[in-house]
Every structure is written in C-alpha cells, then in structure tokens.
Amino acid sequence: MSVVEIANLTKRYGSVLAVNDVTLSLEQDIIHGLLGRNGAGKTTLMQLLTGQDFASSGSISVFGAPPVENARVLQNICFIKESQKYPEDFRAKHVFTNAPLFFENWDSAFAEQLVAEFRLPLNRRIKKLSRGQLSSLGVIVGLASRAPLTFFDEPYLGLDAVARQLFYDRLLEDFAEHPRTVILSTHLIDEVQNLLQHVIVIDEGRILVDSDAEELRGSATTVAGTARAVDAFTLGRTVLSRQGLGALAQATLSRLSDEDRAAAAAAGLDITPVSLQQLVVSLSETAQAASAHSGTSAQLGTSTTSTQREK
Amino acid sequence: MIEDGRPIFVQIAEQIENDIIDGSLPEEGQVPSTNEFAAFHRINPATAGRGVNVLVENGTLYKKRGIGMFVSPGARERLLAARRDMFEKQYLRPLIAEAAKLGITRDQIAKLLQKDEV
C-alpha cells in the first residue's frame, strides 16, 4: 500500500525547476533513501510532501489527501530538517516537553534513553548547542516521535561516526519493533546503503532511479583491463562510465549475466562489483553528460529511466 | 561481512547455508530471528527476512508458528550436494584460468595440490 502518491509534480522558483514533473509513490512501512547531489531537489520535494510549500503544478496525496494545511495528514508526519529553527531561548528539554503535544505516538522513555546515549545536554540553550548536538536533537525527535511518515533530511550534519552508527542502529531496531514509512535523505550513501529497502535518486529535479535497493545492488559491474579488451567487451552494451589510463581502461556497465561474466573473465578482464554510492555517481554523471549533449533535460529523464528499466 | 554489488538477501541466505554446512546451525536447531540478523549485520529487517524466506521456500528452513525458524532435517546433506555441484564452476575453473594466465601447467597445479596435502 502506498502512503504517498505524487503525479507530474513540478515546483518552480523563478526560472529554476527545483522539482520537475515527478511521478512517484512511496510504499508503507519501508525505509526509503532519497539520494542526490546538492541542489538536486531533495529538500524541495520533502517540503512539498509535508505541506510546507505549494506545488507549481501536479498533485500530491499523502495518506490519501493533499498535505497542505491538512491537520489529519500532518499529525502523522515528522519532518526532521537539516536546519530546524526553534523559539529563541528554547532549551533542549523544552523540545521534549512539547513534542508529545505534536506526536501521538511519542515515546518519552525512548527519548530519554536516546538523550543519554547521544549525550545531549538538556539544559543548554539550543542556540548554544554545537552543530552535532543540534543534529542529535533532531535525530532523537525523529526516532521518538514514531510518526507513521518520518522524513530525515541530512539528519547528521556534524555528528561524529559513533553518533551516526548509534542513529543507524536505533533506527533499525525501532523500525523492526514499530514499522513505519521512513524517508532518509543523505549524501552518505555508503553508510546507509544497507538500511534502505528502496532507493530514489533525484538529479536536477528529476527522478533518475526509483528502484528496490536489492535490485539496484548488483545492477552494475566494473570491468577493467587493457583498453582494447574493455572496448571489445563493452561494444553494444550500455556503458555508464568509462575511464582510461594509457593502455588500460575500466568501464561500468549495467547488469551482467553469468555468461557475460564468464566472457569477460575469458577476455582477461577483472570484474568488480559497484557500490550503491559509485552507481549513483555514475548515473548522475551519465545524466549530466546526456543533458549537456541533448540540450534539454526533458529527454534526459526519459532516456535514463529507460536505461534503468532495461536491466 | 556484507559485500557490495550483490543483493544482501542472497548473502544472508548464503551465510545461513554456510552455518548449516559447517554445523554451527544443526538440523532441527533454531535459527536467529529476522530482527537479530538485521541488528547483527546492520541491515534492514525486511531484507534479512527476504533472505530467510528464500531458505524457507526451498525447504532448508521451516517455520514453527509463534516460535521461529528451524533447520529442516536433511538440509545439510542437500546443501552439501548442491555446493559440490558448484565446486568446479566456482573454484576449479577460475583456478585453471588464473594458472593459465601465469603460465602454470596442469601438471604443476597437480604437484602443488599434492604438496599441500601434508
């Protein structure tokens, strides 16, 4: 069952198309990764989904209704923003006394446990918190609110490696106990890739990838060897990216069958898997090249989407 | 533990199979829960569940309602047979290809194997 349905959604800021004709649905009780470069449109998309901004055109349905000024929809949403603003003179403890008023499923005991684990100083004024502590505060609210639809927009700016690992562990544990729909927007793809069930990659306001995470894993392979062998092997296949170094080359290709792998090995090529992060980088680069080539981003969307579907 | 570039559920299923083959998960023994797998490998619980389900569907594991997953009787023998069938393709072929690349003859491979048998 889908929690979010958007169709032909566009958001225009002056001449900039922040979200460009996006059609997408988000399934219930799944952890989604929303990935893409800076300025790709991730935050705008989340603002539209949480009713914090108006669409220029297209439709949005969240829990079956448009989210803008819709209390029934919004009370089921928690949106943890990269730069959440709090009232002047608010201390962290005030956030935790107010949160239960907004979130029906708020778990105070869980929040307390997280405050201790993240070592968040409750009595300090929020404007005196470090960047990492501010991020901890957001992460704790996002987890303890247990909202049926939770957005984390780059939740861990300034968080150290230990705190990030703590966030991933608690998210997985709590998600297992209390399944809900999570949208995690991030640049740290390597770190979160194993948490995700569904991956959405956005670039220049358009959806590049909308795929099951497991299908995406293993959907690309890098072959490396002499330039001649690489080029002979890649002839007639979809090449996502290619680098050369003198007589050597490596190319990233979409999914290879067992026979393809055997053929590549027989041709003396080294075959290595491509991580989700490398794949996203390759796809974004391919999209950029295609857009520079064709001159219109409209064609780019359809061509890359069809490449995705071929696999 | 979890490698890049291959579906995680496939790797989870393989690891459970390996544990059955080496005896650390005995037949009729209980398999850790999906959530335990998820927490241990730091992966999504649904993905862990998908790996376990592959083994339930092919009869390696069976479900006891309300209790959990158990290793089916005869599972180890079946897995061993399947892995032996794969041995040539997975291990021998790449070994021969690498040896050929390095100019190692089959006789030399045979000698190396005997030397290693001590």
A270-273 β-sheet, strand order: A239-245, A248-254, A220-226, A270-273
**Predicted pLDDT at A311:** 36
**Predicted pLDDT at A82:** 84
User: Do the Cβ atoms of B44 and A197 come within 8 Å?
Assistant: yes
pLDDT digits (tens, 9 = 90+) for B32-86: 999 999 999 999 999 999 999 999 999 999 999 989 999 999 999 999 999 998 8
Element spanning A20, H or E: strand A16-27
User: Do the Cβ atoms of B5 and A217 come within 8 Å?
Assistant: yes
Token duo for residue B82: 């399947």
How many Å lie between the alpha carbon of B96 and the closest alpha carbon of chain A? Answer: 11
A2-13 β-sheet, strand order: A16-27, A2-13, A57-62
Query: Which residues in chain B have Cβ-Cβ distances shorter than 8 Å to A177?
Result: 35
pLDDT digits (tens, 9 = 90+) for A151-192: 999 998 899 999 999 999 999 999 999 999 999 999 889 889
pLDDT digits (tens, 9 = 90+) for B83-106: 998 898 888 888 888 898 899 999
CA distances from A160 to A130, A133, A191 (A): 12, 10, 13
Max Cα distance, chain A (Å)? 68
The CA-based dihedral angle spanning residues A45, A48, A52, A53, taken in that order and rounded to the nearest 10 degrees: 100
Cβ neighbours of residue A245 under 8 Å, at least 6 residues apart?
none
Interface A–B counts its CB contacts (< 8 A) at 67
Look over chain B and give the mean of its residue pLDDT values, rounded to a whole number.
91
Say if strands A198-203 and A31-35 run parallel, antiparallel, or are unpaired. parallel
Q: B47, B52, B86: best mutation site toward chain A, by most A Cβ within 10 Å?
A: B47
Q: CB burial class (10 A; 0-12, 13-18, 19+) of residue B91? A: exposed
Say if strands A149-153 and A181-186 run parallel, antiparallel, or are unpaired. parallel
User: Do the Cβ atoms of A172 and B42 come within 8 Å?
Assistant: yes
Pick out chain A residues at pLDDT < 70: 293-311
Check if the interface score ipTM surpasses 0.90: no
pTM: 0.84
Domains of chain A: 2-215 (3.40.50.300), 218-310 (3.30.70)
CA distances from A238 to A8, A234, A255, A273, A305 (A): 28, 8, 9, 16, 13
Domain residues of chain B, as ranges? 8-75, 84-115
B8-75: which CATH number, 1.10.10.10, 1.10.645.10, 3.40.109.10, 3.40.50.1000? 1.10.10.10
